[in-house]
């Protein structure tokens, strides 16, 4: 639901640095070379094995909801979830899913999606990611 015609005019930047934008956006993680634990933030050492060598790896863009919380603070309730993407847990917000216990289910299939968080005065658009029901 982005407008492709505007892409030449608006500079897009990812809201978090582990989101890689493009035709098919994806998440990238730092994988420990010793134990394959994956982290989205930058680490000096692995929390599991204290290894200090990491390789950037692409994370699967679809997965299943393994836990969720319906957050009712603020004007609009939303769903905060953990999605298991082929073994990599991803904390995210569910997009386009009614924030009700009837609509959100453990084990539901979801896929990565991106959305605009708005533009600054120079026309730079911040892009955030979430997960939405898989088609
Ligand atoms: Zn490790």
- Distance, CA 45 to ligand 1 centroid (Å)? 8
pLDDT at 74 (0 to 100): 86
- Cβ(79)–Cβ(97) below 8 Å: yes
Distances (CA, A) of 67 to 20, 42, 75, 89, 105: 24, 24, 23, 10, 9
- Distance from Cα 16 to the centre of ligand 1, integer Å: 23
Domains in the chain: how many in total? 1
Q: Determine the pLDDT at residue 104.
A: 95
pLDDT at residue 42 in the model = 87
Which residue range forms the structural domain that includes residue 74?
Answer: 4-133
**Ligand 1 centroid, distance to 88 Cα (angstroms):** 14
Global pTM exceeds 0.75: yes
Tens digit of pLDDT per residue, the chain (135 long)? Answer: 555 555 556 799 999 999 999 999 999 999 999 999 999 988 899 999 999 999 999 999 999 999 999 999 888 999 999 999 999 999 999 999 999 999 999 999 999 999 999 999 998 999 999 999 997
């Amino acid at each position: 639901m982005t407008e492709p015609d505007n892409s030449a005019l608006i500079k897009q930047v990812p809201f978090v640095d582990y989101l890689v934008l493009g035709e098919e956006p994806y998440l990238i993680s730092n994988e420990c070379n010793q134990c394959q634990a994956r982290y989205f933030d930058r680490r000096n050492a692995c929390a599991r094995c204290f290894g200090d060598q990491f390789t950037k790896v692409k994370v699967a863009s679809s997965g299943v909801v393994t836990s969720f919380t319906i957050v009712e603070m603020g004007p609009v309730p939303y769903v905060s979830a953990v999605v298991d993407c082929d073994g990599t847990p991803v904390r995210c917000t569910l997009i386009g899913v009614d924030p009700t216990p009837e609509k959100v289910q453990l084990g539901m299939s979801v896929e990565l999606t991106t959305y605009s968080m708005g533009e600054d005065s120079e026309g730079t658009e911040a892009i955030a990611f979430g997960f939405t029901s898989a088609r």
